[in-house]
A = this chain, B = another copy of it.
Amino acid sequence: MFENKDKTHIEQLGEFGLIEHLTKQIKIVQKSTVKGVGDDAAVLDFTNKQVLVSTDLLLENIHFDLRYVPLKHLGYKAVQVNLSDIYAMNGIASQITVSIGISSKFPIEAVEEIYQGILLACDNFQVDLVGGDTTSSLQGLVISITAIGHVDKNKVVYRSGAKSGDLICVSGDLGGAYVGLQLLEREKQIFLENPEIQPDLEGKDYILERQLKPEARKDIVVLLDSLEVKPTSMIDISDGLASELLHICKASEVGCRIYEDKIPIDPMTYHTAVDFSLDPTVCALSGGEDYEILFTINQKDYDKVKNDLDISVIGHIVDKNEGAAMISKSGIQHAITAQGWNHFNK
């Protein structure tokens, strides 16, 4: 991943030195941040707002592979994954805390690269880094992020509010992150077998970015607010459309019908999936890591969203006893399961 020569090693700086070194770069932009890094706890002030808290733990070789994930991208993505959860409550993220466990044999520059990605994400999304913990790890790299946000009491959207007749909407397009991962995995295998061969990733920028540098959909929260649409339920797509749909159905005690031909899939995702002999619909349903927003709206709000190119209406909510199903392009109804749909495991 990086050269160890002529680098500053973490053990030279010590824990306090490392924290001081890394936190020097932090800028505070949120009014709600009263005190960030540097005391026992961060102090935040959210007068009259509700506070949102979400946390994620990312472990090397479970959630990421340092053989093809650049450290800066890793830091950036780790933040996005967490911000996405705040936006999925219809809130705005305002602070994060970051804990990193890293081998003391790593050069300081490696931790700096991760932080560069983290701070870039903070900057792009106007989020303050207000605390954390840096510790040595005897095993792999560990990144734990907690995101904090706020929302007006009357605007918070749970998974549980979908009602029969509501329209099911999704932002952006799906499956790209998964297909991007297949591409990286293939090139890794080729590289492992013959390190002389340069990776062939040309022209695949979009799906590689979907995997390596996802962008949480803060813009969708802002857009819905400007359109004066309050969704009835909302969730971010981290595990794939199928799994998230089932979460909404379970929490809301409803069923759903979605239409295969309405699922937004980018042409590059589609064609690359086909090249890999993968069904693009399965990639969208079960691939995961797209970090798009899945939400339901009352039918009366349809006119407000129908012209937005970034929002696709893919189906509607039905009664619980009708179950969760997808109508395929050929008109056949398939039950949706947590693993995608019931053809997935055949």
Contact = CB atoms under 8 A, between A and B. Distances in A.
Given A35-B158, A101-B59, A85 B147 contact: no
- Among A40, A43, A159, chain B packs the most CB atoms within 10 A around the CB of A40
A135 to B, nearest CB: 6
Interface string A136-176: 11111010101111010100101110000000000000000
A88 B35 CA distance: 14
Given A51-B46, A148-B53, A40 B85 contact: yes
A139 B147 CA distance: 25
Interface string A27-60: 0000000110011111111111011111111011
- Chain A interface residue number, banded: 35 or more
Given A40-B86, A41-B53, 16 more contacts: A34-B156, A40-B88, A42-B52, A44-B50, A44-B53, A45-B153, A51-B51, A53-B146, A57-B99, A57-B100, A57-B135, A59-B142, A60-B138, A62-B101, A142-B144, A144-B144
Interface of A: 16, 34-35, 38-48, 50-57, 59-63, 84-86, 88-89, 91, 95, 97, 99-101, 130-133, 135-140, 142, 144, 146-149, 151, 153, 156, 158-160, 234-236, 251, 338
30 contacts: A38-B251, A39-B235, A40-B54, A40-B159, A40-B236, A41-B52, A41-B88, A41-B147, A42-B53, A44-B50, A44-B51, A44-B53, A45-B50, A46-B51, A51-B148, A53-B97, A53-B146, A54-B97, A54-B131, A55-B99, A56-B133, A57-B99, A57-B100, A59-B138, A63-B135, A101-B142, A139-B139, A142-B142, A142-B144, A146-B146
